[in-house]
Amino acid sequence: MRAAVYRTYGPPDVVRVEEVPTPVPGDQDVVVQVHAATVGVTDGTARRGSPGYSRLFFGLRRPRWTVLGSDFAGVVSAVGAGVTRLRVGDEVVGVTGPDFGAHAEYVRVRQDGAIAPKPANLDFAEAVALIDGTALAFLRDRARLRPGQTLLVNGASGSVGSTAVQLGRHLGARVTGVCSTPHLDLVRELGADTVLDYTREDFTRTGQSYDVVFDVAGTSTFGRCRRILNPAGRYLSPVPSPSLLLLTPWTAAFGRRKAVVAFTGLRKAAEKTRDLLLVRELAEAGALRPVIAERYPLARIAQAHRHLDRGKYGNIVVTMDPAG
């Protein structure tokens, strides 16, 4: 099978398409023929091996896993003898976990892994663009967002941010989205009550305060956002800066306003499956819509990484169809 392989850290061109062995299912395994996968921030960090501390996980001198990609959508092509949950031909979405492997024509996962039926109303690229391992875990589980609360999403047009805006509305919050000028209309269409252009104004100096600030972009800090948090407000970010890693336990013990970071990709497979099923339900009900910036065929995987490096809105999707 073809797969996007990298064997050294570096720029996008270190990722090349190679022929590698097609996975064979073990007794409890499922092999999925991948139709679409996303190229996300974690893939870029792993490919660069930067910041340096990320190599403690990805490999000190060279990549520990040579095929990137975590989120996938496709069709079950083979199952192990002990598999009862899925059948050949099932259309599914899933998450590989920390060992990657989805940027390939086939991927092997455990039947008790993070895998669920694909939303029936979406194609494979749309379905993979809605796989959410971050926004739901932060807003529902970490922020405990409730109806009537106020939520600011910094980075509202990105892959996580665009989902966070929609989930915030679904959870009953009043949502403010922060993005750049070209994406203001998109964020309004996603359901934000207020949209701020960060190129024209500093969202920490508008005079507004919020129950939750979700700094998806990681371009602000708890220190800067503390003044716009309501009493008992929470600042959340999926970007694990050294200061935020220190502030999370400190603010958990002292003070009412909290700083929160979490590694949602390390959650148990059962938790991820629960979220996949909820996202499927919301998508089929029309409460969530995918946002895709560009679709690239696997042969152009390096170009997809270049797109990632220069910044993006929505999701970058790689498809296994040579035509894209």
H helix or E strand, kind and range, residue 270: helix 269-284
304 & 236 share domain: no
pLDDT at residue number 242: 87
* 227: phi then psi, degrees, rounded to nearest 5: -70, -15
Residue 276 in any domain: the answer is: no
Q: Which tens digits make up the pLDDT trace of 182-200?
A: 999 999 999 999 999 999 9
This prediction's pTM: 0.93
Q: Which tens digits make up the pLDDT trace of 125-180?
A: 999 999 988 999 999 999 999 999 999 999 999 999 999 999 999 999 999 999 99
152 & 250 share domain: yes
User: Could you tell me the CATH number of the domain that includes residue 226?
Assistant: 3.40.50.720
Residue 90 in any domain: the answer is: yes
Residue 175 in any domain: the answer is: yes
User: Could you tell me the CATH number of the domain that includes residue 38?
Assistant: 3.90.180.10
- Per the structure block, which two tokens stand in for 201? 């104004």
171 & 123 share domain: no
Residue 282 in any domain: the answer is: no
| Rounded distance between C-alpha atoms, residue 43 and residue 96, angstroms | 13
Residue 199 in any domain: the answer is: yes
Residue 118 in any domain: the answer is: yes
148 & 197 share domain: yes
92 & 47 share domain: yes
Confidence of residue 322 (pLDDT cuts 50, 70, 90): low
161 & 257 share domain: yes
The C-alpha R_g of the chain, in whole angstroms, comes to 19
pLDDT at residue number 80: 98
Q: CA distances (Å), 72 to each of 35, 159, 167, 317, in order?
A: 8, 15, 21, 10
| Rounded distance between C-alpha atoms, residue 59 and residue 39, angstroms | 20
* Beta carbons within 10 angstroms of residue 172's beta carbon: 12
User: Which positions ≥6 away from 53 have C-beta within 8 Å?
Assistant: none
257 & 302 share domain: no
122 & 161 share domain: no
Instruction: Point out the domain boundary residue: 225, 249, 265.
Output: 265
108 & 12 share domain: yes
Q: Which tens digits make up the pLDDT trace of 12-29?
A: 999 999 999 999 999 999
Q: Are 64 and 11 in contact (CB under 8 A)?
A: no
Residue 279 in any domain: the answer is: no
**Number of folded domains that form the chain:** 2
208 lies in which domain range?
A: 135-265
107 & 228 share domain: no
Residue 284 in any domain: the answer is: no
154 & 258 share domain: yes
- Per the structure block, which two tokens stand in for 278? 């909820």
Instruction: Point out the domain boundary residue: 250, 265, 280.
Output: 265
Task: List the end-to-end C-alpha distance of the chain, in Å, as a whole number.
Answer: 17
158 & 83 share domain: no
Q: Which tens digits make up the pLDDT trace of 216-226?
A: 999 999 999 99
Q: Which tens digits make up the pLDDT trace of 256-304?
A: 999 999 888 888 999 999 999 999 999 999 999 999 999 999 999 999 9
User: Which positions ≥6 away from 163 have C-beta within 8 Å?
Assistant: 130, 132, 134, 135, 136, 288
Q: Which tens digits make up the pLDDT trace of 203-250?
A: 999 999 999 999 999 999 999 999 999 999 999 999 888 899 999 999
